[in-house]
Chain A
């Protein structure tokens, strides 16, 4: 008889289960303090404390209990927390282990679990048929925003997401192995034992804290004369210490991807009361396996009958697991309803443990005589060829009504728990994800793996092999084969002798008696989404004939459990309603993840500082100390502007521009892409890649180059310096660096592989310090050795190599501001020191640091384009008025033919022009549309848009650039920019606003 253990719940059965009664933990459920044993799941702990009612269903708010003892659980979704930040909703109580101090709360109920106002939906259930939302919230249209949507949003979803940032950290691991075995039940263990012997790399994973699978709750079977527990422990001990074996517990294989890549998530600290803060909460494993053995077992189905969802009703296998694994009985007067032999074993175990079995109802007419004999020996009341047609009990089942399958006559039997089994569904989820094809096994009502596309094999119950002796032999053989395929030498391991294994024969899919087409009962198929047999039939009747449509219309199988128990029932009922065979209706597609995975695990290390790469220039520390404000340019942090006390951005940028033009400015241009082009064919290659001619560019000279794609549109630009006959220093835009190098490599490797020229990215080899303005030369001159900086020696657009501050430099005389300027390249590690030396010289002379915003303003004042801002992939060099950069005599370059396309030479193309607002102080918005006639009736034809727009402090008026249809021929025209509150008039003008003669760069 049962003796209660006061410390760990009144339903604990002494002498049963694998947990130690000495180790207790304390937790709360809905604020009530309870005690559990270490190793309990939350579900077993609640059952031990006599609690079945754990939640309310999603749609009807029906009271729901614990249904399973595994990952398939649809009902017992609980909010689990350690503290306010470490809280997770929708945790399956059947897999979450209890830890000391755990706080568990039921969900989807208000104000309390036993009294829930949402339960009115249950009474009104007939008004919530399949497709209810689609049908009901159709009109009036105006009610959607204000009424329907807010109500639906409030009612939707199960738990509440935590509001605080996740304080935990997560890890990722790429792993490789010869054989990955998924599932550590009897078959998986046998496969691992065999594979491990070969010395090849083996990974064995199981989602539970202990290996053993169904063996953990089987106390009848004998393997080589040993109990299941002993055999499992011995097997693990035999392989665990091997260097070639990795055992992963609490690890779920959730995704199977191309070329044998399997994703696992390992729960590292989820069961710990005081986890080491250095441990990740979860670790993602991305395993590449040569061979995969799927030993994922089978999932028991429920039976579909009226009111089959009351708390206290659960799967027969769950009842057996709670008794044999956790030492907990789910009731004290238990009914059994089954279509499968396996539930008989549960009944026998319970009876032997001293639990009263009210009746064993089996809907089958023919029962294995051995089972009948054992039932009789145990004194069980067996009702074969009978069905349960209804149940009673609001918050917990208290009786069942039994009827003959083929006849009349109801018997009400009082019970406090009902265990049911509709047979077993092989877990083909991962197989299916691997794009394997399943076939329907008519005789046993199940889909089984049929055609494989990956290097994997299914063994045991997931392959339909229900007899343990066969499953073990199959697993051993599969492991040998896998080792062979992975290039190893398999060693034979004899599977154990199996005695007293229980049978999994018998099944029922679809509605049981009393839930048929003419019945109007609530017989649930999908517990989590509250889908009944009737809903499926209604969907089919309303014209949803594809199972994929039935699924979406009724939402069956679409909850977080993904229909692990319900899919086969839904399919069978749809098939029956359609008058089709099940294989003709087909199975919905299984997709990753097998069970829910946290975002944390998927993100792993990539959060906080590691969310993305933050690239900083060598001078970053200096600009930071100066109080620079940064902007993100790709992954780079670029100094945007340098505000002084009391300055806003506008004031800072205006000052930076003005100071640079009047004295000098220092600018960090390190992020520019740089490519070294080297080899005897370097000139030939430059001629190909850029529109410009390069033959006549002398050593020590620079040129602004334009690069197109074959279609003739501008792809990138930059200044190129010729360092020697066979060496060019090419610069690209900051964002364009990788794609420009890629395109260059493409042409070089695949079109002109015989050319003797090589490309190296030197973007980060050189820190680039721009010094611009009338005093630029005066500032840097004393620091430079070996280069004559005089205007005559180093003219505008020149480059020279020498030293600055004692370190090598490639010193460019060039300007993106329109002032006399230098771009000083120094090896990156010297960047900050050289910068500081220049600053020390320049500051007393009135130099300012300037950021990217001032750079943008000053280049716009000069009409210099920025690729990607003033061009958008549809702009040719002609459109941008840089066609002077096209070598007219060239016979080939990338884009030469594209530029001749009819549309690219047509009149009226959208062309880049300057824009000057009639009211000087108005600064246009970038991206604003430009029209000719603002009074034109809607739709107003658009003639272009603004690409760049700034306040020019130096000129005292706003400046802008834009693209306008036929713009080059419209100088002086007035166009209009309609904004929300006003229409702005602007004049089309030459985009060179500042120093149009260009004398200043030569100063």
Chain B
């Protein structure tokens, strides 16, 4: 029997125009990692990505990214091959928590000169480069949805939200992009 087919609510959506493009990110491995600082350092070594300890910062290496979410919480994003969880579950006696949230979250990439204007239609944060520079990340709100926002480049953002909020988030972004 064939394996069950994967269906994401953002499949096949696309938006472009008015200085902003929206695109679904596609399947990724996502792990919510909870650990104290000492353990996190060791886990970062194992992963090959130094986990960030500066609030609101993201570190990427070798296709994997660790986003600082809280003082003992990281969102790890990598290719859809389970390598993060495999690596972390082979780290021996360390005390920490990983939970697979690859399907809980889905994400949109927002690119273009108007990306901050579109995001600021629903996100109350200051997204200027001074306040939210490249490699910043944060859990925050967008309209009525909770999101994780990560600035990959000056004009490229990665916006994560829970699966059932993604239709709302996408439509809100597209509505804002109409008039950006």
Contacts and interface: CB of A to CB of B under 8 A. Distances in A.
A278 B104 contact: no
B144 A176 contact: no
B59 interface: no
Given A278-B179, A605-B176, A613-B168, A829 B103 contact: yes
B126 interface: yes
Interface in A605-630: 605-606, 609-610, 612-618
Interface in A717-766: 756-758, 760-766
Interface in B102-122: 102-105, 117, 120-122
A593 B4 CA distance: 55
Contacts of B144: 606, 612-613
A711 to B, nearest CB: 29
Contacts of B8: 829
Contact of A175 (B103, B120, B168, B176): B120
Interface stretch (A146-154, A676-684, A974-982): A676-684
Interface stretch (B45-53, B93-101, B148-156): B93-101
B135 interface: no
B15 interface: no
B98, B101, B128 — most chain A CB neighbours (10 Å): B101
B34 to A, nearest CB: 4
B42 to A, nearest CB: 16
Contact of B27 (A758, A783, A829): A829
A767 to B, nearest CB: 8
Q: Which of B9, B18, B123 has the most CB of A within 10 A?
A: B9
Interface string B114-147: 0001001111111010010000000000011100
Contacts, number: 147
B164 interface: yes
B61 interface: no
A288 interface: yes
A832 interface: yes
B121 A173 contact: yes
Contacts of B97: 676, 678-679, 757-758, 760
B54 interface: no
Contact of B102 (A171, A765, A783): A765
A605 B4 contact: no
Nearest to A738: B146
Contact of B104 (A169, A680, A764): A764
A486 interface: no
B4 A678 contact: no
B9 A806 contact: no
Contacts of B122: 172, 174, 605
Interface centre among A605, A680, A763, A831 (most CB of B within 10 A): A605
Contact of A833 (B4, B27, B105, B165): B4
B3 A805 contact: yes
Given A613-B144, A764-B164, A829-B27, A171 B176 contact: yes
B100 A765 contact: yes
Main secondary structure of the interface of B (DSSP, over half): loop
B6 interface: yes
B178 A169 contact: yes
A171 B120 CA distance: 11
| A interface bracket (residues with beta carbon within 8 Å of B) | 35 or more
A605 B144 CA distance: 11
A617 B99 contact: no
Given A605-B121, A678-B97, A828 B104 contact: yes
A834 interface: yes
Nearest to A201: B128
Given A174-B120, A613-B168, A616-B164, A760 B99 contact: yes
A783 B3 CA distance: 10
Interface in A755-798: 756-758, 760-766, 783
A605 B175 contact: yes
Interface in A252-269: 268
A827 B102 contact: yes
B167 interface: yes
A827 B99 contact: no
Contact of A280 (B27, B123, B179): B179
Contacts of B99: 676, 678, 760, 762, 765
A947 B178 CA distance: 48
B103 A764 contact: yes
B5 A833 contact: yes
Contacts of A764: 103-105, 162-164
Contact of A613 (B5, B9, B165, B176): B165
Interface in A203-226: none
A806 B131 contact: no
A805 B4 contact: yes
Contacts of A757: 97
Interface in A791-838: 804-807, 826-834, 837
B4 A286 contact: no
B6 A761 contact: no
B32 interface: yes
Contact of A806 (B2, B32, B162): B2
Contacts of B1: 783, 805-806, 837
Contacts of B4: 804-807, 826, 830, 833-834, 837
A171 B168 contact: no
Contacts of B143: 605-606, 610
Most A C-beta atoms less than 10 A away, residue of B18, B100, B175? B175
A242 interface: no
A415 B95 CA distance: 92
A279 interface: yes
Contact of A615 (B27, B165, B171): B165
Contact of A829 (B6, B120, B145, B175): B6
A697 to B, nearest CB: 19
Contacts of B167: 614, 616
A174 B117 contact: no
A807 B3 contact: yes
Given A613-B145, A830-B6, A837-B4, A756 B175 contact: no
B121 A172 contact: yes
Contacts of B163: 618, 764, 828-829
Given A605-B176, A616-B9, A610 B104 contact: no
B98 to A, nearest CB: 8
Contacts of A680: 95
B76 to A, nearest CB: 13
A831 B8 CA distance: 10
A634 to B, nearest CB: 11
Contacts of B175: 169, 171, 605, 610
A833 B7 contact: yes
Contacts of A286: 124
A612 to B, nearest CB: 7
B39 to A, nearest CB: 10
B139 to A, nearest CB: 12
Contacts of A617: 164
Given A280-B178, A613-B164, 6 more contacts: A169-B178, A174-B120, A760-B97, A828-B103, A829-B27, A837-B1
3 A-B pairs with least C-beta separation: A806-B3, A833-B4, A758-B34
Interface of A: 169, 171-176, 201, 268, 278-280, 283, 286, 288, 604-606, 609-610, 612-618, 635-636, 676, 678-680, 756-758, 760-766, 783, 804-807, 826-834, 837
21 contacts: A171-B175, A171-B179, A268-B179, A288-B124, A605-B121, A606-B143, A613-B145, A618-B163, A758-B34, A764-B164, A765-B102, A783-B1, A805-B4, A807-B3, A828-B104, A829-B7, A829-B27, A829-B103, A831-B7, A832-B7, A837-B4
